Amino acid sequence: MGKITIAQDKCKGCLLCIGFCPKGLIVIDEKLNKRGVKPVKFSRQSGIPPKAGKEDNECLGCSMCALICPDCCIEVYK
Amino acid sequence: MEKIFSHPKSLRQISTHYCAGCGHGIAHRLIAEVIDELAIREKIIAIAPVGCAVIAYDYWDFDCSEAAHGRALAVATAIKRLRPQNIVFTYQGDGDLAAIGTNETIHTANRGENISVIFINNAVYGMTGGQMAPTTLIGQKTATTPKGRDATVQGYPLKISELLAQLPAVKYIERVSLHSPQEVLKTKKAIKQAFQNQIDNVGFSLVEILSPCPTYWDLSPKAALDWIREVMVKEFPLGRIK
Amino acid sequence: MPKTKLLMTGNEAMAEGALQAACRFYAGYPITPQNELIAYMAKRMPEVGGICIQAESELAAINMVFGAALVGERAMTSSSSPGISLKQEGISYIAGAQLPAVIVNVMRGGPGLGNISPSQSDYFQATKSGGHGDYHSIVLAPSSVQEAYDFMSLAFELADKYRNPAIVLSDGMLGQMMEPLIVKSKIQNPKSKINKPWALTGCKGRKPNIIRSLYLGEGALEELNLALQKKYKLIQEKEARWEELFLSDAKIILVAYGTMARIAKSVVKRLREQGKKIGLIRPITLWPFPKNAFKLANSQTRKLANFLVIEMSYGQMLEDVRLAVAGKAKIEFLGRAGGGVPSEEEIISKLRKLI
């Protein structure tokens, strides 16, 4: 079982992390960050339900999101 | 829970000017991670290029210098000759290393200077607005090849790594990519090898990293990674070249 | 300090002078008429434990000097006119990043490929900063093989003191002539050089250092430039050097530097023997230009002296003399370039028309 933290004010909204999360646990936030961009957020963190059909998913701590993030926004815990 | 992925110490905790989805951010982080893991931060002297990464020294937390466009390897040569105890690396784009700096690249490699070279190949000149690079693909549209690169007029994409591999003093060349987390891990391994080679006095080591430029490829960040995987690696095959 | 007397070419004397001044890095590219310098360095530099690299180009050489300078070493390159043209970007970077470095130019005929005869046609390039941007290199002009040797120490000292490029401006004649030379027998210990806390040595025990000349932030580059201008003003106030002969009663003052000053001195001697009131101002620093020498020249004589500027060019130092004299006296000029050297007879002939 794992979790991630996202430094939302550094996020540029490239959305690469969303593309590589095998569990679909990263989503786009509704509010803008200080950069004027909608950053991503960890859906497990904020009590947002996961994608339809993936309700049983938990973060594996695989770190794919952190590896691909060009802005080093993500730290991973396991 | 235990933290298993951290922001590396050798990378400053500031926002970069790089575009969303730019490969520089990943490459900078990997270099910082490798330097932290090898515990060589206090020995590092880095040389930044002229290109989008011209202010790389604002993002790393170790000794770093600028260099005139293309001349990083001449600067590195002098530093390493005078201070072999330091770990010296250059970080260069395709214009810096394979256009204006080609002479310095070939001769530094030919002399076999014991340095590590990180070569960021994104097939375009980003900083100046998306002009053709030596590594631009045939048919690729850029600011100076609006109809697409034409081999009869602009020649072919330059495989500088393959050229350098012919030099006897060159000890390690590997081409890697950033188009997926798995490839990112392979890139990190290659960067680590290039630095370890310097520590072990093996000799001239170069890692060519295929890197996305969503802005000047006119693709979304995800589509840019796909373009590397589907198109770029066919022209620039991955793997150990020397 | 024990001394030895040697017979050496100007080029070799500059190399030996650099080593005596604890220079331990040289990078250069062969070009006539200074090839003796790089050959001498290739032999002598390893003997003193330094690094000598024959670089792949003039561009590589100046950038290697940049690299050597940024780690705190005394570093130099040498070339001749066309090669110095190639180095201009590198010199601008050295000035902008505030690094100390010494560049030797053994001037030859130009423009273009020119020829390998001596000239003084790179005065503008050296003193008006041939590279881009508002900067100045300190420029020293030796006039003998002894000065070619001595000025290397001075060049490194000034470069280190002000964190600035320093050019030693020689020419093909001075470079290749041989004269007796008094050298110090003991080589200066490089460890006794000035402390450089800004140098890149690896960030152990301190915050990381950055060497840069790029300042994108609002007002940041202007701040650097103001600091540079302040530095240049200080150098102009403190470091101007010149030699003067017979200024107290001269009616005509010759102005010449380097090889031309040797010829000018012969002319002064000959004409003084005939009772003619001729004097000489020999600038030693071409930048900062010794403006005060000209003010003094005109205040020492009760009548205004006139000037005859002689150069192996078509009038480059002439412009600085005009600025220094500021219209207070007449200035005549005699110059030849493209390999031509004004002879004593030509100069005397011109002077006879003026006296």
Q: What is the CATH number of the domain that holds A11?
A: 3.30.70.20
Q: Scanning every residue of chain C, which has its alpha carbon at the shortest distance from the alpha carbon of B67? A: C63
pLDDT for residue C300: 58
Q: Interface partners of B (3+ CB pairs, < 8 Å)?
A: A, C
The contacts of residue C235 (CB under 8 Å, 6+ apart) are: C136, C138, C158, C162, C164, C288
Tell me whether residues B5 and A72 touch, CB distance under 8 A: no
Q: Interface partners of A (3+ CB pairs, < 8 Å)?
A: B
Tokens representing B204 are: 């001239």
pLDDT along chain B (242 residues), means of 10: 96 97 98 98 98 98 98 98 98 98 98 98 97 98 97 98 98 98 98 98 98 98 98 98 98
- Whether chains B and A touch (3+ CB pairs under 8 A) is answered by yes
pLDDT for residue C117: 95
Tell me whether residues C204 and B63 touch, CB distance under 8 A: no
pLDDT for residue C109: 95
Q: Which of C349, C343, C295, C342 is nearest to C315 (CA)?
A: C342
Does the structure show a pLDDT above 60 at A46? no
Secondary structure class of B113 (helix, strand, coil): coil
- Rounded CA gap, C313 and C123, in Å? 9
CA distance A52 to chain B (A): 22
Contact B205, B117 (CB under 8 A): yes
CA distance C275 to chain B (A): 57
pLDDT for residue C354: 87
Tell me whether residues B75 and C25 touch, CB distance under 8 A: no
Number of structural domains chain A divides into: 1
CA distance C236 to chain B (A): 28
Tell me whether residues C64 and B68 touch, CB distance under 8 A: no
Burial of B152 (0-12, 13-18, 19+ CB in 10 A): exposed
The contacts of residue A9 (CB under 8 Å, 6+ apart) are: A33, A34, A35, A39, B15
Mutate to test the interface with A, among B3, B5, B186 (most CBs of A within 10 A): B5
* pLDDT band at residue A26 using 50, 70 and 90 as cut-offs: very high
**Ranges under pLDDT 50 in chain C:** none
Tell me whether residues A77 and B26 touch, CB distance under 8 A: no
pLDDT for residue B66: 98
What would the CATH number be for the domain defined by B23-240? 3.40.50.970
Mutate to test the interface with A, among B10, B11, B12, B15 (most CBs of A within 10 A): B15
Tokens representing C77 are: 């390159």
- Chain B residues whose C-beta is within 8 A of a chain C C-beta are 41-45, 54-55, 57-58, 60-68, 71, 74-79, 81-83, 85-86, 103-104, 106-107
The DSSP H or E segment spanning C167 is: strand C165-171
Where exactly are the structural domains of chain B? 23-240
CATH superfamily of C3-238: Thiamin diphosphate (ThDP)-binding fold, Pyr/PP domains (3.40.50.970)
What range does the domain containing A69 cover? 3-77
- The amino acid at residue C355 is I
Query: For chain C, give me the number of helices (H) and strands (E)?
Result: 13, 15
Enter the ipTM: 0.96
According to CATH, the topology of domain C242-354 is Rossmann fold (3.40.50)
Q: Is the dihedral of CA C46, C47, C50, C55 positive or negative?
A: negative
- Rounded CA gap, B70 and C166, in Å? 24
Where exactly are the structural domains of chain C? 3-238, 242-354
Which residue in B4, B180, B221 is closest to A14 by CB distance?
B221
Contact C200, B46 (CB under 8 A): no
pTM over 0.90: yes
CA distance B82 to chain A (A): 35
Mutate to test the interface with C, among B57, B64, B65, B96 (most CBs of C within 10 A): B65
Residue-wise pLDDT for C148-184, tens only, equals 999 999 999 999 999 999 999 999 999 999 999 999 8
**What 8-state DSSP symbol labels residue B242?**
-
For residue B66, list chain C residues with Cβ-Cβ distance below 8 A. 93, 97, 211-214
Q: Scanning every residue of chain B, which has its alpha carbon at the shortest distance from the alpha carbon of C213? A: B66
For residue B209, list chain A residues with Cβ-Cβ distance below 8 A. none
Tell me whether residues B82 and C203 touch, CB distance under 8 A: no
Q: Strand C210-211 vs strand B239-240: parallel, antiparallel, or unpaired?
A: unpaired
